[in-house]
Amino acid sequence: MKNPKMQAPINSVPPSTAPQTFSAPLASDEGTVQQPPKPWPHAPVHRLTVHGIYIVTAGTLHKQDLFERDDDRTMLEKLLLILACKYQWQIEAWAVFSNHYHFVARGNPSSANLRELIRHLHSDSARELNRVHKQVGRVVWYNFWDTRLTYQYAYLARLNYVHQNAVKHGLVRVANQYQWCSARWFERVASPAQVQTIYAFKTDRVKVQDDF
């Protein structure tokens, strides 16, 4: 995974907007894609649910840095949040990189099949990436791994793992400096006590597919 330019600390974040359901980005007459605004999730609940909480990881084919450009990662992040709204999954942590991503999602009685969300994300992101890069029929995604979290400690530790993942990969010194992850959003919508609690969970023994 290639490192984007080290991000300077960011002291302000965009205002929160209520999550909405969007269709996939649409192409204009000129062929450029009109991206909808980012649908920021609600503040996380931080407790297990009978409807399931999952951590998902996906990687590109041969771990290629296909989302190396800033705009490519922005497109992938927006699509993830948009489709999570459409399929009614609450994203509680996410991190998007040049050759993989992670997210933690909470289900509810109205949630659609999580794997359908992932397949839709991979199909739309691959199509858009190949359109922008003028690649025909290129395979973008290799595989994904989804694990249901059934223990509170495992759940909270993986939330922190995903929030802090850009630091693990050496892209930034502080998680909220990385543009394509949930750390800044989490620090804005959660209480200081919640942030302190989640960030205190150790992640060195967390087992997540992450050899990218």
Tell which residue, 4, 13, 2, 56, has the closest CA to residue 209.
Answer: 56
Percent of the chain residues topping a pLDDT of 70 = 76
At 3, which amino acid appears? N
Is residue 171's pLDDT more than 60?
yes
Structural domains of the chain sorted by starting position, each given as residue range(s) with its CATH number in brackets: 47-199 (3.30.70.1290)
3-state secondary structure the chain: CCCCCCCCCCCCCCCCCCCCCCCCCEECCCCCEECCCCCCCCCCCCCCCCCCEEEEEEEEHHHCCCCCCHHHHHHHHHHHHHHHHHCCCEEEEEEECCCEEEEEEECCCCCCCHHHHHHHHHHHHHHHHHHHHCCCCCCCEEEEEEEECCCHHHHHHHHHHHHCHHHHCCCCCCHHHCCCECHHHHHHHCCHHHHHHHHCCCCCCCCCCCCC
The pLDDT of residue 195 is above 90: yes
pLDDT at 205: 87
pLDDT category at 28 given cuts 50, 70, 90 is: very low
Give residues with Cβ within 8 angstroms of 204, minimum separation 6: none
Give the separation between CA 15 and CA 50, rounded to whole angstroms: 31
**162 pLDDT higher than 50:** yes
* Angle, CA of 107, 112 and 114, to the nearest 5°: 70
Distance (Å, whole) CA 198 – CA 212? 24
pTM for the complete prediction? 0.79
Q: Two tokens at 104? A: 């933690």
Q: How far is CA 145 from the centre of its chain?
A: 14
Number of other CB atoms surrounding residue 116 within 10 Å: 11
Residues of the chain with pLDDT > 90, as a percent, come to 73
Beta bridge partners of 54: 105, 148
pLDDT tens profile 40-87 = 555 555 455 557 999 999 999 999 999 999 999 999 999 999 999 999
Of the two residues 119 and 3, the one the predictor is more confident about is 119
Q: Which of 31-45, 79-93, 176-190 has the lowest mean pLDDT?
A: 31-45
Structure tokens given for 204 = 């060195």
Say whether pLDDT at 198 is over 70.
yes
